[in-house]
Amino acid sequence: MDKILVRGGRPLTGTIPISGAKNATLPALAASLLTDQPLRLSNIPHLRDVTTMLELLGQHGAAITIDEKLGVEIDCSRIHNTKAPYDLVRTMRASILVMGPLLARHGRAEISLPGGCAIGTRPVNLHLRGLEAMGAEITLEQGYIKGQAKRLRGARLVFDLVTVTGTENLMMAACLADGRTVLENAACEPEVLDLANCLNKMGARIKGAGTGTITIDGVEELRGAEHAILPDRIETGTFMIAAALTGGDVTLTHTDPSILKAPIAKLRQAGVVVEEKKGTIRVRKNGPLRAVDLQTAPYPGFPTDLQAQMLVLVSQSEGTGTITETIFENRFMHVSELQRLGADITLQGNVAVVKGGGELRGAPVMATDLRASASLVLAGLAARGETLISRVYHIDRGYERIEEKLMALGADIHRLSN
């Protein structure tokens, strides 16, 4: 298994391009199941989760062509299998995103029930409740969710809590349903809006995406389309924090500051200089960092996917900050690894109290989930000495060539393959 070796202490400087968003690519790929015409997606990040979703679509019967610029064309005219097997779903929970499209266009789906994972129990009850309200018959057999429906029908659905993939799954299902669906308390994440834009290009009739109320008027069929995936705001945020943490000066291109308002505001509050231009963000440190308090929240709040990285920044700031995780009940697995590097963090339920100012010292650490691994890389960049991170397959799920991009900014970082 690959490891990443980081020798800390070098300020990051230079310019790097941001990749397309993982969490917009996965639902857009699933959307290809809604039509028998080819869907062409560009600005696709080269990631393990994307490969897993392509593998899943392939075993459903999709024909996939990848061009030299990593654009992907998916042709779902010959779907012969509506089962998403355990072996794929257990490596990527977002596989559940094929459920809505398969039910809507093929009338059946059999998806391995995603289990818990390193960040919490993560049930899919709200996805299933919504599909049932649209007329699907859902049963659970031998660890598989089995769904059947002749034609889904429009419904008014109110989510108990904000769910990103739940909103996406039901929005896709509703595109081919009979009549109007209204999703209330829907997720407002930019990735939901990006999916709606893609679906509307395919002939869907979706209004209100990006707000808490989404209205979808079902159509008989969708057609092929071309769509460029929006920039990855979590990759952007991770590199912004890395720049601040190492006292560097980094410009991120091919991104969109308008979808990063909460992280940009927090970094400014921490004393970081952030300059926004269209498609570009420059981040540099100018004076000492100040500890901040923050609470994760659904968009437009501070994203849970940047919580671990921000925790490292606070540990290197003056003063004490509290970081409250409100989305996932167990998303603090990185804390014990960061403590091994010398970070002064105390956990009190879903609140991490971070005492800043202490020096981080390199040590061997283990990645537990995607964003946790990113926080360990960041901590390694700020630490004195060598940090050896194992189980880096987690990071390959969601960051495109992270060590190459950091190396290009001057980091002393290497992948050790064995």
- List active site positions: 117
Residues 340-359 that bind ligand EPU (CB under 6 A): none
Closer to ligand EPU by CB, 190 or 398: give it.
398
Residues 184-213 that bind ligand EPU (CB under 6 A): none
Pick one of 51, 125, 211, 269: the residue that binds ligand EPU (CB under 6 A).
125
Tokens of 310: 């921000």
Cβ neighbour number for residue 282 with a 10 Å cutoff: 17
Q: 3-state class of 29 per DSSP?
A: helix
In sequence order, the β-bridge partners of residue 17 are 253
* 161 belongs to the binding site for ligand EPU (CB under 6 A): yes
* 327 belongs to the binding site for ligand EPU (CB under 6 A): yes
Q: State CA 19 to chain mean position distance.
A: 12
Q: 3-state class of 119 per DSSP?
A: coil
* 122 belongs to the binding site for ligand EPU (CB under 6 A): yes
Candidate segments 71-79, 132-140, 161-169, 400-408, binder of ligand EPU by CB under 6 A: 161-169
Question: Nearest 5 degrees, angle CA 363-CA 368-CA 372?
Answer: 80
* 163 belongs to the binding site for ligand EPU (CB under 6 A): yes
Residues 18-57 that bind ligand EPU (CB under 6 A): 23, 26
Distance in Å, CB of 79 to ligand EPU, minimum: 22
* 376 belongs to the binding site for ligand EPU (CB under 6 A): no
Distance in Å, CB of 285 to ligand EPU, minimum: 26
Tokens 């971070």 correspond to: 354
Phi-psi region of 361 (alpha: psi -120 to 50; beta: other; left: phi over 0): beta
Distance in Å, CB of 358 to ligand EPU, minimum: 27
Closer to ligand EPU by CB, 124 or 274: give it.
124
* 94 belongs to the binding site for ligand EPU (CB under 6 A): yes
Distance in Å, CB of 14 to ligand EPU, minimum: 25
**Nearest-angstrom CA–CA distance, 173 and 355:** 47
Candidate segments 115-123, 219-227, 341-349, 378-386, binder of ligand EPU by CB under 6 A: 115-123
Pick one of 194, 235, 249, 305: the residue that binds ligand EPU (CB under 6 A).
305
Q: 3-state class of 144 per DSSP?
A: strand
Closer to ligand EPU by CB, 30 or 379: give it.
30
Tokens 């089995």 correspond to: 146
Distance in Å, CB of 304 to ligand EPU, minimum: 5
Residues 274, 277, 280, 283, Cα dihedral to 10°: -10
* 123 belongs to the binding site for ligand EPU (CB under 6 A): yes
Cβ neighbour number for residue 314 with a 10 Å cutoff: 27
Tokens of 320: 């004490």
Distance in Å, CB of 49 to ligand EPU, minimum: 8
Pick one of 31, 56, 62, 124: the residue that binds ligand EPU (CB under 6 A).
124
Distance in Å, CB of 296 to ligand EPU, minimum: 8
Distances (CA, A) of 112 to 84, 92, 146: 6, 11, 9
DSSP 8-state class, residue 93: G
Distances (CA, A) of 231 to 108, 119, 242, 261, 399: 33, 24, 18, 14, 12
Pick one of 144, 239, 328, 332: the residue that binds ligand EPU (CB under 6 A).
328
**Nearest-angstrom CA–CA distance, 191 and 203:** 19
Pick one of 10, 284, 371, 394: the residue that binds ligand EPU (CB under 6 A).
371
- How much of the chain is in helix, strand and coil states, percent to nearest 5? 35, 30, 35
Q: Which residues bind ligand EPU (CB under 6 A)?
A: 23, 26, 94, 120, 122-127, 161, 163-166, 304-305, 327-328, 370-371, 398
